[in-house]
Structure 1
Amino acid sequence: MDRRMPHKPQITFDDKLKVWSGGERSNYFAPHLSIGEIIFREMERHPKLIAQISATEKTVLTREEVRLNAMRVASYMRRLGLKQTDIVGLIARNTTHLVAVAYACFFNGMPFHSLNISYDQETIEKLFSITRPRLIFCDGDEYERVVAATETLKLDATIITMRNHPLSSLRIQDILTTPIEENFQPSHLEQGPDQTLAILCSSGTTGVPKAVTVTNSQQILWSCSAMPIDVVQYCHSTLDWFSGLSMCINCGVFSTTSIIADNKFDPGFVCHIIEEYKVTFLVQSPAQMAMLVGCPEFESVDLSSIWRCVYGGTACSVEVQHRMRSRLQQADCLVFSYNLTEMNSLGCLNHHFDEKPNSVGRPVRGIKVKIINEKDDALGPSEMGEVCFHTGQHWSGYYGNPEETRTMIDSQRWLHTGDLGYMDPDGFLYLVDRKKDMLKYQSIVYYPNEVERVICQMPNVAEVCVFGVWDAVNGDEAAASVVKKPGTQLSAQDVVSFVREHIDATYKELNAGAIIVEELARSPNGKTLRMATKEHFLKVTRGSKFN
């Protein structure tokens, strides 16, 4: 295998503006080409290569088969009279023909709005009321919820099921019989690279998810350098995750082989996938990685094929990262990625885990970073403030929500992440916590992440979430909900005592106590819901500090 390393950013720092830059972005393809046009041409170049293998449905598709299927779906959309101003709805797992639906949208220059399969009917209604799709692809598992939502919204939408088809539904297999339009070619984008490629959902950690537009820009290309065609990639994320969208595009553009699965995330099954298909490029969320390193199969599975393991999207304990690193053989194989869906691209990559294990990395090409204080003044190295990004590309904002868009991006097109962090003298970004999660004990500021890092050092801890519980005298007292590793013993008092012994300030101790839980509250995209976890803590403790 060609084990070329991805681009490692060469960072520059403007001492006057106090801005770090990953350098100029270079296009691999002519800049006027859309993502759909690139995928269409690249799939035509390598028709016999394996594009996708489903580990659950046991299907294998060549690039020619995927391309033809996508052209059939795109031709069906054109027969319905759908235009680039229309939106396609998606609520689906990674089944065999989902890639054809995604590529069909790309070929037609028509964005899809992808929702998570776990959304209830009310959330589906709220999100689809924003985009009002005319065509919806969903799994039969969610069919009734989708039908009910469209009826409530009075949407004149055609619904097509992808698996577990109800008797009354139109099936994806029916659509794949559509004749391909004569002389089929991808549509020319009416708005060029600024046109919306897809609409994903925000994590929903602070309420109903927002509809986040993703721009049709080559900045989205996943690895920041061309990947060899013998890469075998696996990512469990569905198309409502930025990582899922990126990997779907990655496969089409760089002719890699994508392993997919439509089951619920199962770390033991992931071990099986890696071993059977010799996965070389693994992408996962920190929560998935925590489950992977904690499963019984992890210590014996053969991971020697992996030459790149990328993870990110939220905080990840250093202990989990070290456990993963201990089983991987390639140098610089563990890569932390940092981005927001709103960025439409990667922001930072850390290719130096062994030297900088706590960092989320350096800005990639085309990305600029600055750290600002509460007065919006830019700060220098090692000074903590809010992390802001400039992507150098157009972003259309939150679909149908200009007010929220203005709170996210300022007049100079800087995205305000809400994350607190600092850049070290070497240009590596370190995150401290979310700005809104800042706690104050007797007027002394501290952050949950500081306490979480201590608790994660306990050998029997799998995951932890720390939050503040209000006390009339002290203010925010730290409390913790802790998930223990399977088959181990751990009490709440063990956690409280460990923090007291290993933390350097009494105001950071677990003064509001701790509880042991089976799992943490999470958003559909896998991010820990701090407020929901706190609500469960308060319900369980009922005023008792140590449980």
Structure 2
Amino acid sequence: MNIERSILEVFSDACARFSDRPAFTCLGQTLSIGDIDKLSAKFASYLQNHTDLEPGDRIAVQLPNVLQYPVVVFGALRAGLVVVNTNPLYTQRELKHQLNDSGAKALVVLANIADTASQVVPETGVEQVIVSEIADLHSPVKRMLINSVAKYIKKMVPEFSFTNQVNFRDAVALGGKQPHSDVQRTPDDIAVLQYTGGTTGVAKGAMLTNRNLVANMEQVREALGDSMKEGAELYVAPLPLYHIYAFTIHCMCLFATGNHSLLIPNPRDIPAFVKTLKGLRFTGFAGLNTLFNGLMRNPDFANLDFSKLHTTCSGGMALTRDTANRWEKITGCPVTEGYGLTETSPVVSFNPTEAVQMGTVGVPVPGTEVKVIDENDNDLPNNSPGELCVRGPQVMKGYWQRPEATADSIDSDGWLRTGDMAVIQDDGYIKIVDRKKDMIIVSGFNVYPNEIEDVVSTHDKVAEAAAIGIPDEKSGELVKLFVVKADPSLTEEEVLAYCRENMTAYKVPKQVEFREELPKTNVGKILRRALRDEELKKSGTPVSA
């Protein structure tokens, strides 16, 4: 396992070995690894010759699962830039924070969502905006057809304007007129700033180095073994590539082994998703619990060709036993669940495909140490619940420009505190017994109560607010908000409208309950756990100690 390589070295090796192999397919168009090599070189040339960006500068990439994503990311890395993966669903507030916090000097954005960015870019340090339309890398006829339908018939492209704007296709064309120069980076150089929420409610950038990402790629490949043969796989990619789980699987592991990813731009459109899979003999599927459930509820899903499917990976949220059993019954392929964090690039553990233990998140991937500790930081023996700690080459360098938060998370010996309560069994398998005390997971996305409370508390009619997660069959959990009014006229719709204006959709509460007061400690800290326990008792769900 060679982890002393840069992503660029991994990329170059894949291009040399697998140039003719298909790499990514989206909306009926396929790019080979050689195509990605050529296009990313042109994009790198544009960045080097037509912008003021220097190696180490940050470039925000706000794209869904379209062909432009790998071209832009690999092009940026070839130019020596740091990629800031940016959620296309961000509100103005969230996007502005990430652009300013990362110090991004450039932004690549899809036209469909560029109106949000256009409102905040003037208040950031972004000097260059590159706008792409959804089918920019399709053949001329299909490009004109798909882009025109999206813009003029479906009205999917709101009006926007940037003073420093260039079209993606123009950028690639300009770059193609001059040679680029691959900028070699060291294993310790930051490759990606991957933003994650925190207990403070402020999104922090996890500094993932070349070594972190290459190490995790190698760890996952070794854990999968023969389940990822070189040049033989077609993996379905419904999870967003801007999410570190999908990024590591599809842009690192599969690309490096000359394999093929089928990009699904909008997995929420289940009928269209299933239609895309029809007639394909895919071999792998990386998803999560809510997505598996959504697909299995579609009557046409069971009629797909699963004859070649040998690997289904689950991560991002807890996998339920019922979902796993139904998936295996329909597809004939067992689900292998893993565990990870943004801060660990992300995979920590994985169930071996030949020895799955349902209810666990598997064993640590190669080169990874785990332990559990008590509240006094003492190591605990096997089968004792405690906070899970991780040490390995995939653990992040730290949080971007937040040395105190880094010191709170990673000790002097390199152990990362995950905040998750776990048991390590005698056989080495890990069982997560409780998540971070307050974090909510909605369809695999982390939602941090402090962020919701901070936003809601800025409403003039709100005195106090507390957010918790409660079980939900569809999304795993949903956000419930408790509010103490400062103005008796405050309504639930006012609260929700304010949330929708200031937060990504999956963070918006699904339930609002008004209270005269909220439970608190003797020092005045709101007891979210007490609220959560009340809700669990109402639903008849056992309350953990």
Residue 82 (structure 1) aligned with residue 18 (structure 2): no
Distance 1:99 1:129, change over 3 A: same
- Between stretches 428-437 and 414-423, larger displacement belongs to 428-437
Structure 2 residue aligned with 1:188: 184
Which of 201, 221, 224 is residue 223 of structure 1 equivalent to?
A: 221
- Contact 1:335 1:350 (C-alpha < 8 Å) held by counterparts: yes
Q: Hey, what's the Cα distance between the residues in 1 that align with 2:469 and 2:17?
A: 57
CA–CA separation in structure 2 for the residues paired with 1:214 and 1:524: 26
Provide closer, same or farther for how the CA distance between residues 484 and 176 of structure 1 changes in structure 2, counting only shifts above 3 A. closer
- Residue aligned with 1:378, SS: coil
- How far is 1:216 from its partner? 0.4
Is the aligned partner of 1:434 residue 2:435?
A: yes
- Correspondence 1:72 to 2:70: no
**Are 1:140 and 2:111 matched, yes or no?**
yes
- For 1:347, what is the secondary structure of its paired residue? strand
Segment drifting more, 114-123 vs 291-300: 291-300
* Structure 1 residue aligned with 2:512: 536
2:124 maps to a residue whose letter is: L
Once residues 479 and 107 of structure 1 are traced to their aligned partners in structure 2, the CA distance between those partners, rounded to angstroms, is 41
Give the secondary structure class of the aligned counterpart of 1:389: strand
Aligned-pair Cα RMSD in Å = 3.5
> Which residue in 2 is equivalent to 1:490?
none
* CA distance, structure 2, for counterparts of residue 305 and residue 206 of structure 1: 45
- Residue matched to 1:34: 6
* Cα distance change, pair 297–406 in 1 and its aligned pair in 2 (3 A): farther
Residue type of the partner of 2:7? I
**Residues 213 and 261 of structure 1: CA distance in aligned 2, closer, same or farther (over 3 Å):** same
Which amino acid in the other structure matches residue 244 of structure 2? F
Task: Specify which of 171, 175, 200 is matched with residue 167 of structure 2.
Answer: 171
- Distance (Å, rounded) in 2 between the aligned partners of 1:264 and 1:412: 41
Answer yes or no: is 1:63 the counterpart of 2:33. yes
Taking a change above 3 Å as real, the CA distance of residues 171 and 392 of structure 1, as seen in their structure-2 partners, is same
One of 74, 95, 100 as aligned partner of 1:129: 100
- Asked if residue 326 in structure 1 is aligned to residue 326 in structure 2, the reply is no
Q: Deviation string for 1:410-430 (max 9, x for gaps)?
A: 111111111111011111100
| Alpha-carbon distance in 2 for matches of 1:325, 1:364 | 24
Residue equivalent to 2:369: 368
Corresponding residue for 2:314? Answer: 311
Q: 1:115·1:240 contact (CA, 8 Å) conserved in 2?
A: yes
Question: Helix, strand or coil: the match of 1:276?
Answer: coil
| 2:270 aligned with 1:267 | yes
C-alpha separation in 1, matches of 2:183 and 2:171: 20
Q: Verify the 8 A CA contact 2:374 2:380 in the aligned structure 1.
A: yes
Quickly say closer, same or farther: Cα 1:271–1:158, change in 2 above 3 A.
closer
- 1:72 partner SS: helix
Q: CA deviation at 1:390?
A: 0.3
Matched pairs, number:
439
C-alpha contact (below 8 Å) 1:397/1:405 kept by paired residues? yes
Q: CA deviation at 1:316?
A: 2.0
SS in 2 for 1:233: strand
- Preserved CA contact (<8 Å) 1:398 1:404: yes
TM superposition shift of 1:207: 2.7
Which sections of structure 1, spanning at least 5 residues, go unmatched? 1-25, 439-447, 450-464, 468-477, 486-520
- In structure 2, what is the equivalent of residue 474 of structure 1? none
Match of 1:120 among 86, 91, 107: 91
Conserved? CA contact 1:194–1:395, under 8 Å: no
TM-score w.r.t. the length of structure 2 is 0.73
- 4+ residue segments displaced more than 6 Å: 521-526, 543-547
Task: Report % sequence identity.
Answer: 21
> Match for 2:193 among 185, 196, 199?
199
Counterpart position of 1:50: 22
- Spell out, residue by residue over 1:443-476, the C-alpha distance to the aligned partner (whole angstroms, 9 max, x if none): xxxxx99xxxxxxxxxxxxxxx9x9xxxxxxxxx
Secondary structure of 2:389 counterpart: strand
Contact 2:61 2:73 in 1 (8 A): no
1:356 alignment counterpart: 357
Q: Measure the CA separation in 2 of the matches of 1:397 and 1:135.
A: 23
Question: Distance in 1 between the 2:413 and 2:469 partners?
Answer: 39
1:286 maps to which of 272, 286, 289:
289
1:64 and 1:409 map into 2 onto residues whose CA distance is 40
1:342 corresponds in structure 2 to: 343
Per-residue CA distance 1:12-45 (angstroms, 9 max, x = gap): xxxxxxxxxxxxxx22xxx543111221232132
| CA-to-aligned-CA distance 1:290-339 (integer Å, 9 cap, x gap) | 32233333333332221100011221211111111222335xx4211111
Indicate the residue corresponding to 2:444 in structure 1. Answer: none
Checking the alignment, whether the CA contact within 8 Å between 1:335 and 1:353 is kept in structure 2 is no
Q: Give the TM-score normalised by the residue count of structure 1.
A: 0.72
Q: Is 78-87 or 421-430 further displaced after alignment?
A: 78-87
Contact 1:134 1:157 in 2 (8 A): yes
Deviation at 1:525, TM superposition (A): 9.6
CA 1:294 to 1:206, structure 2 compared with 1: closer, same or farther past 3 Å? Answer: farther
In the alignment, the residues of structure 1 paired with residue 503 and residue 231 of structure 2 have an alpha-carbon distance, to the nearest angstrom, of: 32
Q: Which moved more, 1:404-413 or 1:112-121?
A: 404-413
Q: Is the 8 A contact 1:92 1:162 kept in 2?
A: no
CA contact (8 A) 2:196 2:203 kept: yes
Task: Tell me the distance in 1 between the aligned counterparts of 2:337 and 2:503.
Answer: 21
Structure 1 contact 37–107 (Cα < 8 Å) conserved: no
Name the aligned partner's letter for residue 188 of structure 2: D
Moved more, 374-383 or 243-252: 243-252
Q: How far apart, CA to CA, are the structure 2 residues paired with 1:428 and 1:272?
A: 38
Mapped partners of 2:257, 2:332: distance in 1: 25
5 Å-filtered alignment, 1:398-417, equals 398-417=399-418
Give me the whole-angstrom Cα distance separating, in 1, the residues matched to 2:275 and 2:339.
28
Residue type at the aligned position of 1:239: L
Normalized per residue, which structure has more helix?
Answer: 2
